[in-house]
Amino acid sequence: MAKIHVTTTVNGEPVEFLCEPQQSMLDVLRGPLGLTGSKEGCGSGDCGACSITLDGRLVCSCLMLAVEAEGHEIGTIEGMASGDGLHPLQQKFLEMAALQCGICTPGVLVAAKALLDKNPDPTETEVRFGLAGNLCRCTGYDKIVRAVLETAAEMRGAKAEMPEAVR
């Protein structure tokens, strides 16, 4: 079967790749694109380990065909950090030990960022609901939820301290 040429944007950078029509976005990310942060946990969209964003919307990359990326913006865990600086969520997860083995953590972080991008002031219930599609076998969710809530508060505080012209 002929491969399909896909032009997309991944983490803000233009990207082109060839893929099989039935190939998942997860396989392309981890294979030809070399972005191994997204993990395959279940392969059926139930665990969230492969979470990415598609035009800012949270999706399971194991269920998305790579050809569907044509003309869209993909965000992965590799795009969260800015240069050498971690995203505030990544930093807070480290500070609060809100992670364990690393299989689910990238997906949880991507889901948490997608949540905060849409709702910078979530309640605990909203955080728990926003992360409900991300399963972790290694830890409880309390540290994760607290880390997201504290990051949201800190990010709101930092934004409030910025001059209006910078916001």
Question: What are the chain's domains?
Answer: 4-79 (3.10.20.30), 88-160 (1.10.150.120)
Round to whole Å and give the CA distance between 129 and 147: 15
Provide the strand spans (E) within 1-133. Answer: 4-10, 13-19, 51-54, 57-60, 73-75
Q: Whole-prediction pTM value?
A: 0.91
pLDDT for the residue 161: 56
pLDDT for the residue 32: 97
30, 128, 135, 145 from 131: Cα distances, Å: 23, 5, 8, 9
Sign, CA torsion 30/77/100/123? negative
pLDDT for the residue 112: 98
**Residue tagged 């999706």 (tokens):** 59
pLDDT for the residue 162: 40
Sign, CA torsion 118/159/77/14? positive
Q: What single-letter amino acid sits at 74?
A: I
pLDDT for the residue 165: 45
pLDDT-flagged residues of the chain (< 50): 162-163, 165-167
